């Protein structure tokens, strides 16, 4: 195999993982092109929880200051009964150093704004409304020295490496591994709605209902979001004009603050509904000089709040490895060694948490599962 540094990279997909990787590779002086399928480059609403390991990863990526300013830093996680009684408190870990918070709640739009601005300012060449049509790399052993790419607008380019960061329904995954598994519906869905933030929601608060979990996560000084998991057998199509009544129905078992918020869900357009789909690609996640990251290879449920975290960590590891002077296959093997088991643990544990909910299990240690996840993700990437 030919050794040689990676100088010119194409990233397919300008979501959370692709944008973090673009910034990090530009910081290291690599040439980066990024194509994003959407013409209007935006993200659907509501928020995202970024836990201790993600705060540390953002520090590694050099994005911390603008990132913290765009969200709501918080320390611990509170676990409550459906009526609001406190059950347990899990303290935060300041993994990025004592000067930084343990966790951050941030709106998806604010996160996208921070990441896209950083990638563009650092010199990523972004093309919107564009994807890849063909990837040619000879015998795919990585020895041909490059990937010839044909784009959907008819242009072509040659790259040392192509990164598929194009999410759950990744086109790059399909081009690379036509035999790859496809996303699987787990049986549950998540409902979300933004609200003004009351002072008491200065931490992530989760509420155990009989059929699923609700939670409140601060996103900014003024904003928080409410999420709810529910079992939805058969993955029914939810009528868009009924989302408010359907979400309210599913929140009936909750009292306290969540119960009071339920009555304020009156506009179906403010409800974001998403069936949960998972995917865990077997190793390797690369073929020759094309590699995958994020949801394209390890899409998880939101139960442990780590999906984006794993995509961001993938970017941290790839950015550390790619400038190294070694054969491309060796670099990508090291990527697999550092990422595969950690991501598999998150996907498996998140699926397990959902299965416990669907089986209405009372005999399980949910707090223990969260603590184990925090221990595992606190380890260096
Ligand atoms: C309901 C829900 C709640 C979640 N909550 C959390 C949370 O609290 N914390 C957390 O860490 N994670 C959470 N996640 C997971 C998180 O959103 C994902 O894991 C994360 O966005 C994955 O990043 P990614 O870069 O791999 O993919 P994405 O962020 O999905 O980005 C993929 C990008 O590729 C683009 N694209 C798609 N196809 C193509 C193509 N053919 N060509 C070019 N571009 C293409 C897309 O438009 C998109 O911009 C949640 C997920 C869901 C569904």
Mean pLDDT of 75-101: 94
Q: Is the CB of residue 105 below 6 angstroms from any atom belonging to ligand 1? A: no
CA pair distance 8, 161, nearest whole angstrom: 7
**DSSP one-letter code for 3:** B
pLDDT band of 340, cuts 50, 70, 90: very high
Q: Which of 310, 330, 208 shows the shortest CA–CA distance to 258?
A: 208
The best mutation among 74, 311, 347, 350 to test binding of ligand 1, ranked by most ligand atoms within 8 Å of the C-beta, falls on: 311
At 37-59, the pLDDT tens digits run 999 998 876 899 999 999 999 99
What is the reported pTM?
Answer: 0.96
The best mutation among 308, 310, 350, 373 to test binding of ligand 1, ranked by most ligand atoms within 8 Å of the C-beta, falls on: 308
Nearest-CA residue for atom 42 of ligand 1? 131
pLDDT band of 227, cuts 50, 70, 90: very high
The Å distance, Cα 169 to ligand 1 centre, comes to 10
Q: E strands within 140-181?
A: 147-151, 156-159, 161-164
**Tokens representing 241?**
């004009």
| 8-50+108-183+277-358: CATH superfamily | FAD/NAD(P)-binding domain (3.50.50.60)
Q: Any idea of the CA torsion for 192, 197, 203, 208, to the nearest 10 degrees? A: -40
Q: Is the CB of residue 308 below 6 angstroms from any atom belonging to ligand 1? A: yes
> For the chain, how big is the Rg over CA atoms in Å?
21
The Å distance, Cα 15 to ligand 1 centre, comes to 6
* Residue labelled with tokens 């909910």: 357
* Residue labelled with tokens 């598999």: 344
Please give the distance of CA 180 from its chain centroid, rounded to a whole number. Answer: 20
The Å distance, Cα 195 to ligand 1 centre, comes to 23
Relative to the CA of 308, which ligand 1 atom is closest? Answer: 11
User: What's the chain's average pLDDT?
Assistant: 95
pLDDT the model gives residue 4: 54
At 106-156, the pLDDT tens digits run 999 999 999 999 999 999 999 999 999 999 998 766 667 899 999 999 999
CA pair distance 344, 246, nearest whole angstrom: 33
Q: Is the CB of residue 49 below 6 angstroms from any atom belonging to ligand 1? A: yes
Q: Which of 12, 14, 25 shows the shortest CA–CA distance to 291?
A: 12
The Å distance, Cα 178 to ligand 1 centre, comes to 21
Helix (H, G, I), strand (E, B) or coil at 75: coil
CA pair distance 75, 136, nearest whole angstrom: 48
Q: Which of 178, 164, 177 shows the shortest CA–CA distance to 9?
A: 164
Number of residues that make up the chain: 381
pLDDT the model gives residue 121: 97
Please give the distance of CA 230 from its chain centroid, rounded to a whole number. Answer: 20
Decide: 218 and 197 in contact? Cβ < 8 Å. yes
Decide: 151 and 132 in contact? Cβ < 8 Å. yes
Q: Which of 293, 332, 329 shows the shortest CA–CA distance to 313?
A: 293
Nearest-CA residue for atom 35 of ligand 1? 13
Please count the other Cβ atoms lying within 10 Å of the Cβ belonging to residue 149: 22
The Å distance, Cα 231 to ligand 1 centre, comes to 22
Mean pLDDT of 161-171: 98
pLDDT band of 23, cuts 50, 70, 90: very high
**Is 15 a residue whose pLDDT tops 80?**
yes
The Å distance, Cα 143 to ligand 1 centre, comes to 31
Relative to the CA of 274, which ligand 1 atom is closest? Answer: 1
Relative to the CA of 293, which ligand 1 atom is closest? Answer: 26
The Å distance, Cα 167 to ligand 1 centre, comes to 5
Burial letters for 161-196: b for 16+ Cβ neighbours within 10 Å, e otherwise? Answer: bbbbbbbbebbbbebbbeebeeeeebbbbbbbbbbe
């Amino acid at each position: 195999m030919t050794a040689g540094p990676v100088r010119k990279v194409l990233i397919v997909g300008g979501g959370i993982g692709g944008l973090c990787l673009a910034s990090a590779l530009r910081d290291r002086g690599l040439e980066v092109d990024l194509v994003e399928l959407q013409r209007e480059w935006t993200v659907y609403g509501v928020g995202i929880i970024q836990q201790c390991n993600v705060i540390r990863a953002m520090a590694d990526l050099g994005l911390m200051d603008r990132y913290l300013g765009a969200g709501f830093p918080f320390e611990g996680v509170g676990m409550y009964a459906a009526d609001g009684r406190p059950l347990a408190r899990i303290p935060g870990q300041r993994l990025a150093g004592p000067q930084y918070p343990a966790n951050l709640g941030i709106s998806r739009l604010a996160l996208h704004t921070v990441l896209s601005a950083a990638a563009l300012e650092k010199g990523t060449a972004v093309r919107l409304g564009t994807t890849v049509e063909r990837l040619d790399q000879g015998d795919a052993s990585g020895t041909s020295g490059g990937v010839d790419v044909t784009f959907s607008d008819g242009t072509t380019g040659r790259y040392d490496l192509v990164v598929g960061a194009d999410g759950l329904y990744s086109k790059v995954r399909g081009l690379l591994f036509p035999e790859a598994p496809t996303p699987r519906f787990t049986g549950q869905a998540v409902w979300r709605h933004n609200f003004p933030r009351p002072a008491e929601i200065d931490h992530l608060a989760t509420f155990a209902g009989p059929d699923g979990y609700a939670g409140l996560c601060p996103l900014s000084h003024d904003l928080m979001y409410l999420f709810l998991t529910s079992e939805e057998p058969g993955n029914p199509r939810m009528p868009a004009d009924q989302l408010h009544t359907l979400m309210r129905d599913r929140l009936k078992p909750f009292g306290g603050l969540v119960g009071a918020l339920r009555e304020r869900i009156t506009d179906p357009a403010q409800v974001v509904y998403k069936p949960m789909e998972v995917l865990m690609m077997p190793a390797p996640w690369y073929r020759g000089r094309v590699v995958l990251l994020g949801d394209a290879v390890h899409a998880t449920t939101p139960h442990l709040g780590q999906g984006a975290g794993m995509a961001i960590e993938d970017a941290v590891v790839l950015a550390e490895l790619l400038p190294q002077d070694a054969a491309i296959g060796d670099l990508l093997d090291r990527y697999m060694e550092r990422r595969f088991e950690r991501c598999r643990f998150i996907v498996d544990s998140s699926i397990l948490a959902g299965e416990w909910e669907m089986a209405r299990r009372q005999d399980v240690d949910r707090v223990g599962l969260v603590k184990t996840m925090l221990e595992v993700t606190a380890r260096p990437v």
